Amino acid sequence: MTDADRPADSAQPSGRPLRLSIGLLLLWTTTTALALGLASGLARSRDASFDAHLHSISYQRMLRKQDLLWFMAAPAYGAALAAAVVAAYKGATQQRDFPTQPGHWIAVLLGIGTLGFFATMIPDTDGPTQRLVATAVIITLAVVGCLAASSTPGPRRWRSALVVNAAGLCALVAVMIAGRASELDAAAPAMWMLLVLPALAIAVAVAMAAFAAAVDLVRPPSQGLFHWAGILTLAVLVAHPAIALSLLWNF
């Protein structure tokens, strides 16, 4: 068969499949160090306005446990940031080998969310700038979420989870637009009530992803290493704030 007889799609290079390499390990190390540095910066800004004489010893211990949690979760935040960087590079170079599997998309979404969280928590950032960054991040998440739901071939359990997640993110964008149009205060009770449905949809999507991952575990493995890295990243990034809130509530 000559080159002219080959299908047009086969003539377009899609890039080499993503493999674990020294370069990826270095990227993960760098993004993990970045996550640790950003978390340390937040802790320093907190400690700068912290008066030890006004708080009990048990409260100070609780804060140290929170810092330890950040240290333990930093590799997962680094993995999410690294996934977002790799996806951006693959998109810029028109390579279609990442993200392709559900865990890839989950890691990319988590990376965008992580980047947005740290961006809004930069010290001395005014309220309008924080709201602008938060809006841009949520819109980006909605767009990427829709891409994930539309481009993931299957299985159906993963497509369903990604579709519900995309619906929740799009609903969140709609709520933000409606709130701005009606000039609702972000802290108003009506605004919080509107946010319940998108938050519930995203929580349901996380539960569906957990179910899909459990099914994958009991069936012959068909997903790659980076799919499972994305699932593990999701588990850590869901567990981290849950444990942090439990420490705060039990104080």
Query: How much is the average pLDDT of 43-54?
Result: 65
Q: Which residue has the higher pLDDT, 41 or 89?
A: 89
Asked if 168 and 198 count as a contact pair (C-beta separation under 8 A), the reply is yes
Q: For all residues of the chain together, what is the average pLDDT?
A: 82
pLDDT at 52 over 70: no
The owner of tokens 């108003």 is 188
Question: Who contacts 98 (Cβ-Cβ below 8 Å, separation ≥6)?
Answer: 18, 86, 87, 90, 104, 226
Compute the distance between CA of residue 149 and CA of residue 108 in angstroms, rounded to an integer: 13
pLDDT of residue 19: 79
Q: Is pLDDT above 50 for 13?
A: no
Higher pLDDT, 48 or 215: 215
Query: So what's the pLDDT on residue 152?
Result: 84
Give dist(CA 138, CA 115) in Å, integer. Answer: 11
Cα 117 to chain centroid, rounded: 10
Is the pLDDT reported for residue 54 higher than 70? Answer: no
> What does the buried/exposed string (b/e) look like for 106-131 if buried means 16 or more CB atoms within 10 Å of the residue's CB?
bbbbbbbbbbbebbeeeeeeeeeeee
How far apart (Å, rounded) are the C-alpha atoms in residues 244 and 249? 9
